[in-house]
Amino acid sequence: MNRWLPFEWIVATRFLREGRMQSLFIILGVAIGVGVIVFMSALLAGLQANLFRRVLSSQPHITLERPKQQATPALLAAPGQQIVTTIQKPSQRVNTIDQWQKIRDQVEARNDVVTVSPTTTGPALVVRGSATQSVSVIGILPEQYNKIVPLSEKITAGVFRLTNTDVMIGTQLAEDMGVGLGDKLRLNSAAGTSLILNIVGIFDLGSRAANQRNVYVLLSTAQNLLNMVGGVSNIELTVHDPYSAEDIAQSIANSTGLNALSWITTNSQFFLAMRAQTYSSLLIRVFVALSVAAGIASVLVVSVVQRQKDIGILRAMGGSRGQVRRIFLIQGALVGLAGSVIGSMMAVGLLAMWKIVARNPDGTPMFVINVDWQFFVWSALLAMLAGVLAAATPAVRAARLDPVVAIRG
């Protein structure tokens, strides 16, 4: 079979076989480095995806709201003098968005927006007997809102359904008020409106504060309760690329004149932590890759010194400098390829063990880790490239050896 291989491949594989222990140790070193890189990359991707899903599963990517109003009463000056104006903030902000249907249609027409859902929110008091508790009433259109916040997946009792007489409350509020499915709750708003609604669903958003405060009703119900008939206080939406939410929010704000708050702005500390985690992981992978490349280079440099006479004989028999260079470059590529294959297998084994060990108290996986096989292919290619680059210096050194000096030792 070797006779069909090019001369450089035959010599390169023979050099690797003759120094079996040396080749084995360097391949093992490459395998450990590649295994660490692949394992860390898959683990970090799974962790970030889990955190990202938990944060964004309970909030929209972008929220549109009416900008703050400013009053500018004129102060009349004496005749012949300039009129002075003062800017004063109103005592209470106007909550409704003007012509919200037109804005909704405008935003829905954008290619980067996935779902748009209007909401009407405001404070209210929940009353049951002598017990009262302040809550935030959120009026929604169930089908559209569920595409932004999957509320149907968070229902622990009852059904995800809203009519004009229905309400869905959190687990903590149900516990505090001592109510369950089918019970009645009275909602009193600051506008003096009162409604008695039937509890059809109890949800768990994963946050004690949200489970205690959030109350979901139909959009029209919230409009009547909060005295905002026909109006909405927010327009919530999701986009195709959540990491571009800030740029999209600025674009929408400029075109509509509304305040546009992205999840990046409202969760700035979380976003910065995610970015810092990504950068730190990238630095670790870079240093591991550099150490792997340095290991390959050091072994091949030693190989050049050990095989000076062999290289001299090859040159004396007519071997060109280019052929000698290619012999060591091929060795570097083969070492990188073998190490990446073994390292990828090690990483798969470690990920399988992690899935078994890292579990929640109820036995479910702590978070989902998806193995991207394309990443293994890229790891193999990068390991081969690192091996070739690491072998460049030893290859040039070997090609520059004078045949007579090399044979004499």
pLDDT digits (tens, 9 = 90+) for 368-377: 777 777 777 7
Residue of 21 and 213 predicted with greater confidence = 213
Identify the residue with better confidence: 306 or 386: 386
Is there a contact between 394 and 301 (Cβ–Cβ < 8 Å)?
Answer: yes
**pLDDT for 93:** 47
For residue 23, pLDDT beyond 50: yes
pLDDT of residue 137: 94
Q: pLDDT band at 1, cuts 50/70/90? A: very low
**pLDDT at residue 113, as a whole number:** 93
Residue 226: closest CA among 128, 151, 124: 124
pLDDT at 78: 55
pLDDT at 330: 83
pLDDT band at 82 (very low <50, low <70, confident <90, very high): low
Confidence of residue 329 (pLDDT cuts 50, 70, 90): confident
Q: How confident is the model at residue 223 (pLDDT cuts 50, 70, 90)?
A: very high
pLDDT at 14: 81
Task: With beta carbons less than 8 A apart as the criterion, state whether 148 and 115 touch.
Answer: yes
* Gap between the Cα atoms of 174 and 155, Å rounded: 13
High-pLDDT (> 90) share of the chain, %: 29
pLDDT at 18 over 80: no
Range picked from 76-85, 106-115, 292-301 for highest mean pLDDT: 106-115
CA gap 71, 89 in Å, rounded: 6
Residue 92 has pLDDT above 50, yes or no: no
Q: Which residue has the higher pLDDT, 347 or 70?
A: 347
Instruction: Name the average pLDDT for the chain.
Output: 81
- Count Cβ atoms below 10 Å from residue 310 Cβ, excluding itself: 18
CATH 2.40.40.20 for the 94-257 domain, yes or no: yes
- pLDDT per position as a tens digit, 245-269: 999 999 999 998 899 999 888 887 8
Distance (Å, whole) CA 111 – CA 215: 32
If you average pLDDT over residues 216-244, what whole number do you get? 91
**Domain residue extents for the chain:** 2-55+271-408, 94-257
pLDDT, position 79: 59
Q: Identify whether the C-beta of residue 332 lies closer than 8 Å to the C-beta of residue 294.
A: no
Residue 44, pLDDT above cutoff 90: no
